[in-house]
């Protein structure tokens, strides 16, 4: 006995395909953004080669790393689609990254002569 294809089956299949394609475009976009941020990270030390910019380089590299980690967590680890309480747990490393930046800035401005 042959299986008859109904319009409901076709509609569900089309909906599944369109959902899959939209996620694929999102993932490719995030992948490209991560690639551009990585290229920028490679060139940060070369662009900012002045003597005063050691902390600027560290700050920029930390911000880029936190941004990349956030993108990976949100889209590739699917935290964007989780319940809010679970997102807070996943965001903990990002908060720690901001704490490290604040501590770096505080120690920089505390040292006399800077």
Chain segment 50-85, per-residue pLDDT in tens: 665 677 787 788 888 888 988 888 787 777 777 888
8, 19, 21, 35: CA torsion to nearest 10: -170
Domain assignment present for 68: yes
Domain assignment present for 2: no
Domain assignment present for 1: no
**Which residue would you say has higher pLDDT here, 39 or 88?**
39
pLDDT tens for 47-58 read 666 665 677 787
Domain assignment present for 36: yes
> What does DSSP assign to residue 113?
T
Domain assignment present for 101: yes
Q: Count of residues for the chain?
A: 114
**Number of compact structural domains in the chain:** 1
What are the backbone dihedrals phi and psi of residue 82, each rounded to the nearest 5 degrees, phi first?
-90, 170
Q: Which residues of 100-111 are buried (b: 16+ CB within 10 A; e: fewer)?
A: eeeeeeeeeeee
Confidence of residue 19 (pLDDT cuts 50, 70, 90): low
Domain assignment present for 28: yes
Domain assignment present for 14: yes
Domain assignment present for 19: yes
Q: How far is CA 9 from CA 55, 62, 91, in A?
A: 59, 49, 39
Kindly write down the DSSP assignment for every residue of 26-92, as one continuous string.
Answer: HHHHHHHHHHHHHHHHHHHHHH--SGGGHHHHHHHHHHHHHHHHHHIIIIIS-GGGS-HHHHHHHHH
Range of the domain at 81: 7-110
| Cβ 8 vs Cβ 16: under 8 Å | no
């Amino acid at each position: 006995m042959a299986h008859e294809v109904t319009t409901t089956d076709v509609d569900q299949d089309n909906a599944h395909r369109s959902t899959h394609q939209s996620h694929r475009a999102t993932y490719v976009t995030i992948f490209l953004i991560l690639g551009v941020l990585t290229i920028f990270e490679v060139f940060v030390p070369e662009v900012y080669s002045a003597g005063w910019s050691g902390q600027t380089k560290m700050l920029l590299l930390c911000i880029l790393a936190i941004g990349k980690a956030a993108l990976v967590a949100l889209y590739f680890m699917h935290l964007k689609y989780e319940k809010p309480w679970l997102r807070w747990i996943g965001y903990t490393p990002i908060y720690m990254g901001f704490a490290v930046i604040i501590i770096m800035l505080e120690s920089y401005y505390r040292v006399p002569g800077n």
